[in-house]
Structure 1
Amino acid sequence: MSATLELRRLAMPLVRPFRTSKGEETVRDVLVASWTDSDGVTGWAESAADAEPTYFPEYIDGVRQTIEQVLLPLLAEGVDSAEPLTAGGVRRAFAEVPGNPLARGLLETAVLDAELRRHRMPLVDFLCSTRRPIRVGVSVGIPGDLDTLLSWVGGYLEDGYRRVKLKIQPGWDLAPVRAVREAFGDDLPLQVDANQAYTPADIPLLSRLDEFGLVLIEQPFARHELLGHAKLAARRGTPVCLDESVLSLDDAMTAIRLGGADVINIKPSRVGGYLTSRQIHDVCLANGVPVFCGGTLETAIGRAANLALATLPGFTLPGDISATSRYYAADIGPSFELDADGCLTAPSGPGVGIEVDLDAVEEFTVESTTLTL
């Protein structure tokens, strides 16, 4: 086997600043990988890693170092050199690597995309799913004031989004939710996302959100606070959704057993790729736990793959897979825009389904590393 892995760090300007309880972004720092196998077929993948370990324990420089110093040597030792590498081969080679789902998932997904492109198979078919329109929502960052928030939400509803998720933090929670509910009515599917900004001591405050008829409250407490999430969920008020708490299939199963997850947000990059995402989906479906596909301001690469995942039957809630124009004026692949029903559809091409714009990748690249195997 002879293969090349290229890791590129991109600087992607956002249409508007995106602020959460963890900070504000004006330019998305994105790590993408391309894997060119022994047949000359190239597959692509995108990481959710940030420049700093803000949301996840892993971060861009750490992911790159793990791939270069740990994962690629394991592949060189553990795979059959006579055949092109497969995603299954990657998974077996990394079976004893603890943690590091972002690094493992980036490499596995790039190899999977190349494998599927070689066989002319769309990711939707590989997942044993059926292509269908996917209802999508919009995640609204924290603005400077309520008037700006209402203007943003009104614009997104005019664009056709069918669900709104508000980022919240201590001091920015009850008032913005009340303002949006009063301005746009009780029929608007509305949910909130705290990104771990609260503690179980805030349960009385968070309980006051029940009056607004929210779809769910996402990740109010730190990722390790499963018992705190279970205590909040036991109230049977607003459903509790876990995001950062779920880094693996085991995490999802534990959360379900403890009663800490009424809903799970599956972010493929965060859990180690699309094979694990499918497993988490299947476990949730078997246990009656609805899921939706989360987002990390993906480029066209991640957006296309997430749309394919979201066609699985357990994804019954609108995902955070916004239209391209929600985040980027220019992307590294084809634009995705809402249809008249507020839906997006997974592309039909092989692998993740899109052709990457190599010129655009080059334009946005700030660092690149080429590794051979």
Structure 2
Amino acid sequence: MNIMEVDTVRLDEKKKAVVIIDQTRLPGQIEFLELKNAEEIWRAIYLLQVRGAPAIGVCAALGLYVLAEQIKEEDYEAFWARLKKVSDYLNSSRPTAVNLSWALERMERCLEIYHFNGGEDDRAGWLFCLHEEALKIYAEDIAVCRRLGEYGMSLIRDGDGILTHCNAGKLAAVRYGTATAPIYVGMEAGNHYRVFCDETRPLLQGARLTAFELQAAGVDTTLICDNMSASVMKRGWVDAVFVGCDRVAANGDTANKIGTSVLAAVARQYKIPVYVVAPTSTIDMRTASGDDIVIEERKPEEVTEMWYSERMAPEGIKVYNPAFDVTDHSLIAGIVTEYGIARAPYAESFRDIFARKEACGGDLLVQN
């Protein structure tokens, strides 16, 4: 099976389940998981079986609908209380990716608006509302990533060398991805690129996921260790750096997979532009700067034991294992969104971006 031919996250209507590709099994095995209860959905997000900000958001939205189907209360207040409880539980799975809370809040708000605006005030009506909103979030993700690719493609030329970090590919979204969307959309237009993938320690998302999907798509792909980026840049092999992110602060600081800030600093040294590709759902105007972003810390075993047949660090050694770091806005040449490319000063650019979004009612599906 070619991984490019299936959606990373989808809803199985008959089984009332969220179906995901288990990314912890890649690249050796393509396995699908059917998530039917709150614990399974929470664990899938926490254990990175589904990962990437857009994919997490879609999984949460579809998952909340699946769990709402299991709520039997016919009284709205009781139904709402149960739904809010399970939504809060899912939201606790990972703190950094804003798409998780964004999708859950959107589902909650949709139900509240439906109820208070006189929608069918019964369980069937509430479920219909949640079902339609979840599928809209799913469809929007595909449309948004496609548009990200179109804007991002304008920043590169046929034959360019591109360096990317972690996995912001189709495995991090339903289709296309964010940072890889310009590559895939460019290929559809007949362009060819040379892509360098950082392996991305300690969880190796670049080696296991990005290299895997780019190769499956027929992209000229070279895998490098994280500490080799300066070497390929110095040789003139890289024309642009494209990365995704899990949260963008109002000043343009971005939180992305650990190591991104190092990559951006090295790129500055070699005068190579760094572009962050992020849907507007990832821009958190409530967060003033990167200093205010909560950074998830993960288990030390990911550094000392995972991927090794034997432990590769001394017993008792202290381990610091942040999942993300913050790249200062001064190191970013542009933030690619589905409504255009934001550039410094970012607070001003974001106002323009959100004005464009508001002008079309925030519905990219209508635009398309």
TM-score norm. by structure 2 comes to: 0.29
Higher relative contact order (CA 8 A, sep 6+): 1
Provide TM-score, normalisation by structure 1.
Answer: 0.29
Structure with a larger share of its residues in helix: 2
